[in-house]
Amino acid sequence: MGKKHAEERKPSRAKTPTFLLELPLVADAGQAARLGGHLEVGRQFYNAVLSAGQRRLRRMRADPAWQAARAIPRTQRQERRAVFSALRERYGFSEYAFHELAKGLRVSWLAEHLDAVLAQTLASRAYRALNRVCLGKARRVRFKSRGRGLSSIENKRKDTGMRFVLEPRAEGRPQGCLLWHDEKLRALIDWDDPVVAHGLAHEVKYARLVRRRASSPRAQGADSEGERYFVQLALAGTPLQKPKHAVGSQTIGLDLGPSSIAIVPREAEARLEPLCAELRPDARAIRRLQRKMERQRRAANPEHYDEKGRAKKRGKGAPRWKQSRGYQATRRRKATRERRLAAHRKSLHGRLVHQIVAVGHTIVTEKISYKGWQKRYGRSVGLRAPGMLIDQLKRTVASTGGTLHEVPTRSTKLSQYCHGCGQTVNKPLWQRWHQCACGIGSVQRDLYSAFLAAYLDPADPIPSCARYVVPWEGAEARLRAAHERATQRAKEGQVMPRSMGIPRAGARLPKSRGEATQELLFLSRRGKVEAWKHRSEPPELELGESSGKVSTPPPF
């Protein structure tokens, strides 16, 4: 029976590996205007599908049968699935039904701008967005606003509609072009770049047009609106492999914090480092731009604020928010900054991952709830993205034949455990040192947890005293050395996160009066200025530490 079915269906596209290559496009003013027009139609079409789909989703969820289906226990998987899929069928909530919906919506003038296949990919996109809401993975969907527009549109085949072609030339290397409607957009190809040459030697599956806002209309390759166009090619095959990095054979324990990382291999040197410390100036610049945007928004929209400067509640029919030219320019600059920050973070993560993998490819770490972290340390986690680091490490380790073991925190409790007496004692967050009455310590707590992780048995991740007796003899000195190196770097001026238990060397003496005032303002915002006033010591010596508790390292 299955065979018959398979023959009737279109030959399903086999899942072959795909990789992306992005090339900048050259668009003259006329072309840019026409592309903008097509994308605007795409935006309206996407919103229309999204809106119709949202109505379907709401109706489906309002059906009493939906609640009944949700009540079916998850253990009865087949039954649950059958009921849900029947509901989806009835309310037309499936990718296929959305394609039908798109067919009905793509009429008259829309059709001139939007080929059928492109309309279909937009409908799939709307479906995926709504399906995330349906599955509880997202709270709501976003409609694309006129101001921001649709930033990309893609085909799913290479023979009709928007497509990429390589045209041989009489001399020199072929010229690549994106064809769409009657436009022919030249792609800038650097044939000497091995990544580009490798990509273009592969078969193109489909093309995607991407529009990005440049930092200014005068930026290189931008049109008069400050937009830049790119083509992304989905290519069959695998991306160019860079020469292999060295891979070590050690077992490594990791302790990842929201802003620091402790790396303890079984044999080699241990490390305690701030996570992505280099991103701080970028983040600061972005925050400055954010504040500037806020000021510009206020200046242009006084009617939206009450006499105390608070934003008024918005009801239906409230006046629109106005965007000044200056505001738009700041927003573009901020977007560019954010893109740069993301790229910088990625490269920092990559560097750290390769340094870790160079030592060993069996890695043990505690499984962390990044969602919980997000709540507690939102800004730091958003900036340093430790979850992304772990994901990248997992992929890299897997590609070298190693494994990353994430052991459950609840059973291991490495941050509370002491291997000398086997007791688990909850340490408050500010306590940065492990020092136990049984004689273990003192040792920096992140390094100590990483050490405990390094010698865990991932198959049975319960720490036991016997495991650690021998390794501890060699490790204690290594852990101290790691902390001393970090302290040394802090003395040389590197900023270390509080969690590392290093008093901030750089913050002890303000470099200028201006800085001191800023620090004061910061303190008063947090309501700490009172406590500071009543201190008996000269305030300059304590500024860096008065706003939080740092336990100083006990003498060794």
- Sites of contact with Zn ion (CB under 5 A): 418, 420-421, 436, 438, 440
Give which of 81, 85, 125 is closest to 101, Cα–Cα: 125
Number of CB atoms found within 10 A of residue 1's CB? 5
CB nearer Zn ion, residue 195 or residue 438: 438
Q: Which is nearer to Zn ion, 473 or 530 (CB)?
A: 473
Output the CA angle 277-279-285, nearest 5 degrees.
135
Shortest gap between Cβ of 441 and Zn ion (angstroms)?
8
Residue 556 C-beta: closest distance to Zn ion, Å? 17
CB of 432 to Zn ion, least distance (A): 17
What the block records as the tokens of 139 is 């709270």
The C-alpha atoms of residue 203 and residue 233 are separated, in whole angstroms, by 10
| CA separation for the pair 214, 332 (Å, rounded) | 7
In the bound complex, what is the minimum distance in angstroms from residue 255's beta carbon to Zn ion?
A: 18
User: Distance (Å, rounded) from C-alpha 384 to C-alpha 278?
Assistant: 10
Of 121 and 442, the one with the shorter C-beta distance to Zn ion is 442
Q: Which residue has the tokens 């701030």?
A: 274
- Of residues 277 and 436, the one with the C-beta less far from Zn ion: 436
* Separation of first and last alpha carbons in the chain: 76
Give the nearer residue to Zn ion in terms of CB position, either 35 or 475.
Answer: 475
Q: How far is the CB of 418 from Zn ion (least distance, A)?
A: 3
Tell me which amino acid residue 412 is: T
- Closest C-alpha to 248, from 390, 405, 362: 362
Q: Which amino acid is at 265?
A: P
Q: How far is the CB of 436 from Zn ion (least distance, A)?
A: 3
Q: Which residue spans within 371-460 are E strands per DSSP?
A: 403-407, 433-434, 443-444
- Please name which of 412, 498, 509, 397 lies closest in space to residue 451, comparing C-alpha atoms: 412
Nearer residue to Zn ion within complex by CB, 281 or 422: 422
In the complex, the smallest distance separating the C-beta of residue 435 from Zn ion, rounded to whole angstroms, is 9
CB of 440 to Zn ion, least distance (A): 5
DSSP string, 389-409: HHHHHHHHHHHTT-EEEEE-H
CB of 186 within 8 A of CB of 235? no
**Could you give phi then psi for residue 555, rounded to 5 degrees?**
-65, 140
* Burial class of residue 471, CB neighbours in 10 A (0-12, 13-18, 19+): middle
Burial 59-73 (b: 16+ CB within 10 A, else e): ebeeeeebeebeeee
Instruction: Rank residues 98 and 468 by Cβ distance to Zn ion and give the closer one.
Output: 468
Is the CB of 42 or the CB of 463 nearer to Zn ion?
A: 463
The answer to whether 177 and 167 are in contact (CB under 8 A) is yes
Choice between 92 and 420, CB closer to Zn ion: 420
The least CB distance from residue 140 to Zn ion, in Å, is 50
Contacts of 457 (CB under 8 A, 6+ apart): 467
Angle at 316 between CA 315 and CA 320, to 5 degrees: 90
**Least CB distance from residue 419 to Zn ion, whole Å?**
7
Positive or negative, the CA dihedral 353, 358, 362, 366 is negative
Smallest gap from Cβ 555 to Zn ion, in A, equals 19
**Beta strands 163-167 and 175-180: pairing type?**
antiparallel
Between 86 and 470, CB nearer to Zn ion: 470
Question: Which residue, 94 or 431, has its beta carbon nearer to Zn ion?
Answer: 431
